[in-house]
Structure 1
Amino acid sequence: MSHAAPKKVLLAYSGGLDTSYLTAWLTHAMGYSVTTLTVDCGGMDDVERQRLAEQSELLGAVEHRTVDAREELFARVLRWLIAGNVRRGETYPLCVGAERGLQAEILAGVAALEGFDVVAHGCTGAGNDQVRFESALAVVAEDVEVLAPIRDQGISREEEREWLNAHGFDIASNDCEYSINAGMWGVTIGGGNLLVEHGSLPAEAWRWTRTASTGSGPEGVRITFDGGIPTAIDGQAMEPVELVETLNLMAGSAGIGRGYHLGDTVLGSKGRIAYEAPAATVLLDAHRELEKLVLTEDQRFLKDHVGDTYGRKLHQGQLHEPMMRDAEAFFASTQARVTGEVDVLFQGMAPLVQAVSSPYSMMAASDAQYGERPSKKSDPSGALWLARTLAEPARLAKRAGSNGPVGSSASAEPALKQDASLASKLLLDEVPA
């Protein structure tokens, strides 16, 4: 009597507790033929890559594969995060969330090309990644069968550990209190005492910035941009992947890029993580300051809005939404003059942009000097006309208020004068020196 061949499963594999459990459970409990696939988006070295392959085999996988997606990740995602100066909540550079759509696409592509019956992932039912994976798979592989046992069965991490231990698999040394995800754009740390809004990481829980207290890091760097893309560190030309990974080491050793992000999950709840994004932090700060030199205010104003929307959609797993291509085309049109050098000082575990230069400098193109002399093309009477024109709506609102109901303007006038006096003081205090 013949037996049907076991179902061929391609599992997205990170080597963490969830995907390690799935490799063993799908193989030994379900009888599937499991191939594990790690889509390498950075954040690991050759030793870690080898460890993943060996661990996968020990857990029962028939084969382990690795796809190096770092160059594709930069070309299709990270370059646009830089161009859009994208930060969630004006803080978080998106880190590993930026990778998920691409990882799902590559997973589906390998499965289709090599005839796998099923693709599987280890996302839980309480996070963003399940939505990111499923959204991407719904677009690029709508007919493929997707298994998500961790999410669908509601298995806890403690239950996973117990099952693995009961079946002779000891991976405790590779797991800890926190859920850690690392990629080229940064590392995120979740769980543990970050599950409450007032918790913080102990010093030993940080990953890429642990040596910051030793003072071993560099004092700063000079970043060269060409058309909005970083091309060199301290004058040494590098391809984007090498540059980002080098800058992660340099800035990370100086403690740059640590942060906490409390934000809105795709599921509507609040979530909180710690992150370390040394290269992203330096590049985004440097790029934004260079843009101030070469772009107009209105260009940057519109870019901020498009960048915020782009980041929100990517956070939601909508890498394949057509609007994203429209946003990227807009970003590309704004980056033609974002060329130059930016000096960044590493000061107190934070980057300080202290100098910028560009052949497209709008500051150098002007014969005016701020606070010293106007442009030769300017007309003092024109400035007065502009000031009065800009003030006209406020002047009319004030006049209209004086014609309001009896008693209303009298009671409001002192408060208006007080507010106007305070606003004037604040404006004077905020005039840049």
Structure 2
Amino acid sequence: MSKKKVVVAFSGGLDTSYTVMKLAQDGYEVYAACANTGGFSAEQLKKNEENAYKLGAVKYVTLDVTQEYYAKSLKYMIFGNVLRNNCYPISVSSERIFQAIAIARYANEIGADAIAHGSTGAGNDQIRFDMTFLVMAPGVEIITLTRDKKLTRKEEVDFLNEHGFFADFTKLKYSYNVGIWGTSICGGELLDPTQGLPEDAYLKHVTAKEQEALLKITFDKGEIVAVNGEQFDDKIKAIQKIEEIGASYAIGRDANVGDTIIGIKGRVGFEAAAPKLIIEAHRLLEKSTLSKWQQYWKDQVANWYGMFLHESQYLEPVMPDIEAMLTSSQRNVTGTAILKLRPFGFETVGIDSANDLTKSKLGEYGETQTGWTADEAKGFIKVSSTPLRVYYGIHKDEKR
């Protein structure tokens, strides 16, 4: 009988290393697939490939979906200025969705009988992987050894060592997930709600030579086209450039407490210079180029877009509808936003755009007006007050 084909979503970490070896030992034909959304270096990917074969995989592949991740998710998170709880760039959650889609697509291509991942039963990732696989690869078995066997790190390490595989799986004080849209940090002091992360918990530190510097980000219809005058056709490279600049000032550090999909509260630290700078620059430009109600309604749907991404609902049919609205809202979001950077922080300075609505000839706020007379202003104010005058004229006892 032919062996069953299983695709393992392989990160190179302890759980997925154990999964590859155990399934190979159990007689599966194991395909180790690393879905890269921009968080793996070339060295890490090479090491993953070497280790996958040592662990018993018959084939290793890197599925590079970084550009797809930008085109189908990051772009809309920028359009929507999406921050979970007005704080956290939705990095890990959105990455996992696109990693899962890539894995499911690959499993379908090779006719896999099963897909395996290394998520535990205590977090959000198990839901993101399982739900995506159920929809994108219906009928394919889902194997989760770490979750089902409630394995400890020691049990996994001991199994690998007993079968001749040795690697540094030392349990560190902090766990990190490095991605194109920020680095998440878990563990350590974050387990105590009264504490924050110390300096040595962060991967990036102040290295900038200047105490202050201007950062100019140029957008065309909401998408980045230049950074400090340098043109970028590749949006991923533009993001990486902004990250390089912002990280040298240790910008983008924070911690977020939020609701997990399974219902418990979770706390995560992060450092995300590029997302924080890009979103605030984009928001600054929108304030001058969008109408009041464009901004209002875009904020409403963008909030839902971020929630659906986090809650593993990217495949919900409403998402393309929200994306269409976000895209339409960007038709006049063209120009340059200027930020001032300093160690550990930044401030918004201003914008330069041909679509700047503050340049109207009808009036300059707090200074002069040419689009209406003083009497017209008085009439407008009086008419606008009519509903209040009606109400309090009848309910005199309720006046505040």
Choose which of 58, 61, 71 in structure 1 pairs with 2:54: 58
Choose from 12, 22, 25 the match for 1:25.
Answer: 22
Match of 1:221? 215
Q: 1:54 to 1:174 in 2, by over 3 A?
A: farther
Deviation sequence 1:354-380 (CA, Å, 0-9, x none):
120111111123342221112x11132
Q: Residues 157, 366 of structure 1: CA spacing in aligned structure 2 closer, same or farther, 3 A cutoff?
A: farther
Contact kept, 8 Å, 1:260 with 1:275, in 2: the verdict is: yes
Partner of 1:265: 260
Larger radius of gyration: 1
Deviation of 1:78 (Å): 0.4
Q: Residues 368 and 26 of structure 1: is their aligned pair in 2 closer, same or farther, counting only changes over 3 Å? A: same
Question: Residue 9 of structure 2: which of 12, 25, 43 is its match?
Answer: 12
CA pair 396-312 structure 1, distance change in 2 beyond 3 A:
same
Q: CA deviation at 1:95?
A: 1.0
Cα distance between partner residues in 2 of 1:391 and 1:158 = 71
SS of structure 2 residue aligned to 1:267: coil
List structure 1 segments (4+ residues) > 6 angstroms apart after TM superposition.
none
Q: CA deviation at 1:26?
A: 1.9
**Amino acid in the other structure paired with 2:319:** M
Match of 2:269, as an amino acid? A
Q: Indicate how the Cα distance of structure 1 residues 158 and 366 shifts in structure 2: closer, same or farther if over 3 A, else same.
A: farther
Provide the residue aligned with 2:110 in structure 1. Answer: 114
- Further displaced range: 325-334 or 149-158: 149-158
> Partner amino acid for 2:247?
G
User: For 1:348 and 1:218, how far apart are their aligned partners in 2?
Assistant: 8
Is the 2:363–2:371 Cα contact (8 Å) retained in structure 1? no
Specify the alignment match of 2:396 in structure 1.
Answer: 402
- Paired position in structure 2 for 1:130: 126
When the two structures are superposed, what TM-score results if normalisation uses the length of structure 2? 0.93
Q: How far apart are residue 396 of structure 1 and its match?
A: 4.5
SS of alignment partner, residue 355 of structure 1: strand
Give 1:337 shift.
0.7
- The answer to whether the Cα contact below 8 Å between 2:112 and 2:140 also exists between their aligned partners in 1 is no
Matched, 1:381 2:375: yes
Equivalence for 1:317: 312
Check if 1:246 corresponds to 2:212.
Answer: no
Q: 2:78 aligns with which of 68, 75, 82?
A: 82
Structure 2 residue aligned with 1:181, among 177, 181, 204? 177
- Over the aligned positions, Cα root-mean-square deviation in angstroms equals 2.1
Counterpart of 2:151 in structure 1: which amino acid?
A: I
Partner in structure 2 of residue 307 of structure 1: 302
Secondary structure of 2:357's aligned partner: coil
Contact 1:119 1:147 in 2 (8 A): yes
Report matched runs for 1:415-426 at 5 Å: 416=400
1:345-401 C-alpha deviation (Å, 9 max, x unpaired)? 112322322120111111123342221112x11132333233334444444454444
Task: Return 275-284 or 141-150, whichever deviates more.
Answer: 141-150
Of 368, 372, 391, the match for 2:363: 368
Partners of 1:10 and 1:120 within 8 A in 2: yes
Instruction: Please tell me whether residue 97 in structure 1 is matched to residue 93 in structure 2.
Output: yes
- How much does 1:325 deviate? 0.4
Moved more, 169-178 or 297-306: 169-178
> Does 2:149 align with 1:153?
yes
* Cα deviation code 1:208-264 (max 9, x no counterpart): x2x216657982321110110001111111110111122222211211111111001
Q: Is the 8 A contact 1:215 1:254 kept in 2?
A: no
Q: Gaps (5+ residues) in structure 1?
A: 404-408, 417-433
Asked if 1:204 corresponds to 2:200, the answer is: yes
Equivalents in 2 of 1:384, 1:166: separation in Å?
Answer: 85
Mapped contact 1:178–1:191 kept (Cα < 8 A): yes
Partner of 2:165: 169
Does the CA contact (< 8 Å) of 1:218 and 1:250 recur in 2?
A: no
Identity, % of aligned pairs? 35
Amino acid at match of 1:103: Q
The offset of 1:10, in angstroms, is: 0.6
Aligned-pair distance for 1:206? 1.3
2:334 corresponds in structure 1 to 339
* Amino acid across the alignment from 2:6: V
Find the aligned partners of 1:199 and 1:7 in 2 and give their Cα distance.
48
State which of 323, 328, 346 in structure 1 corresponds to 2:323: 328
Structure 2 unmatched ranges of 5 or more: none
Distance 1:145 1:37 in 2: 16
Distance verdict in 2 for CA 1:326–1:145, change over 3 Å: same
Aligned residues of 2:289 and 2:332 also touching (Cα < 8 A): yes
Displacement of 1:135: 1.9
Greater Cα offset, 45-54 or 75-84: 45-54
Match of 2:224 among 217, 230, 246: 230
Tell me, yes or no, if the aligned pair for 2:30 and 2:59 is still in contact at 8 Å.
yes
